[in-house]
A = this chain, B = another copy of it.
């Protein structure tokens, strides 16, 4: 009688959230230090001190808690544009930016803006599980290109088989959740070439949605700025990871002028956000972030963590592609069924996420945005887990 799809979505929650809730209960039972919780991409590095200072400072504004324009605070939008222009040689202005409740809202608004009922969106395994939910809820169908298991770059052979005249958009996510892999410039160039060819062949636009919450978290490799490679690119961003503000829900949609009919696309994003319940992104945090657009958290701890856990696990015999970004390790499970492996790891209070919902079987995701101690203390447990399979 009520909407059964929504009941299902609310009952069968994201497995990540499910394990996270279990982890919270388990920590209360046996102590936080005894649970090796690698489930959630909740940044372990605190927000920069400047954010908290800016929050306190902006509290004295008369409009600290007032509505901003639906599109977002102008100063915030200007400062984001100027930061991007400095770093990437682009020419954005505030009018290219729409401030959202984080990347989830940015993606939902963008998808709703672009899609007509039944159109297809392509993404590449492994992929962030919620893309399925977001796409289907906005009337589209998510088509998943099987992974390139050697590199976790794009599997172009399979991509070319799956793209078709109903393809309206493609979502990429680099640095990638869950693999930690950064798409190389070659990958982006080839992707852009395929999309340009297919636009001509099908005689309609194909939008490239680039979901970039991990843009700033990369270890010594270049993360290509995608709008420079393909005109119909729309960027969805979040400050969740770069400023360690995941709970604050501030992100944006960037619609460059190069996008076909960009003014209409931007208007559709605004309209879609409105239709999904957006009024304005949280005001105080908008004002605070406006003063911190050139900052990031002290992200180098993630690189140390990456080295520690990657070396630790591969020394123990675990297999994984070395990740160059984000804070995830995508490790081959020690048995074909990732879910069975996840459950066995749980016996040692190691909490990891089985890969099936990411579109790949037989792996687990390890979110290493945790304390160094958690990683160090988990390694003997990972050894015991490995020993079970020997």
Contacts and interface: CB of A to CB of B under 8 A. Distances in A.
Interface in A271-297: 271-272, 274-286
Nearest to A119: B3
Given A3-B272, A115-B3, A245-B65, A102 B279 contact: yes
A157 interface: no
Interface of A: 1-3, 5-11, 13-14, 17, 21, 40, 42-43, 46-47, 51-52, 55-56, 59, 62-70, 100-102, 104-109, 112-116, 130, 133-134, 136-137, 204-205, 244-249, 261, 264-272, 274-286
Given A2-B268, A244-B65, A275 B101 contact: no
Nearest to A279: B104
Given A9-B275, A113-B6, A277-B276, A249 B282 contact: yes
Contacts of A115: 3
A170 to B, nearest CB: 15
A42 B66 CA distance: 7
Contacts of A109: 277
Contacts of A59: 52, 55-56
Given A2-B113, A3-B114, A11-B271, 9 more contacts: A1-B205, A2-B114, A6-B112, A10-B113, A55-B55, A65-B248, A105-B276, A109-B277, A249-B281
11 contacts: A6-B112, A6-B275, A7-B264, A9-B270, A10-B270, A14-B274, A42-B66, A47-B64, A67-B246, A137-B275, A137-B276
B264 A2 contact: yes
A291 B285 CA distance: 19
A7 B112 CA distance: 10
Contacts of A286: 247
Given A65-B244, A101-B101, A276-B108, A267 B3 contact: no
A136 B274 CA distance: 12
Given A9-B272, A276-B276, A246 B66 contact: yes
A59 to B, nearest CB: 5
A172 to B, nearest CB: 19
Contacts of A265: 2
A75 to B, nearest CB: 14
A42 B13 contact: no
Contact of A7 (B134, B267, B285): B267
A282 B2 contact: no
Contacts of A43: 66
A244 B64 CA distance: 10
A298 to B, nearest CB: 15
A274 B9 contact: yes
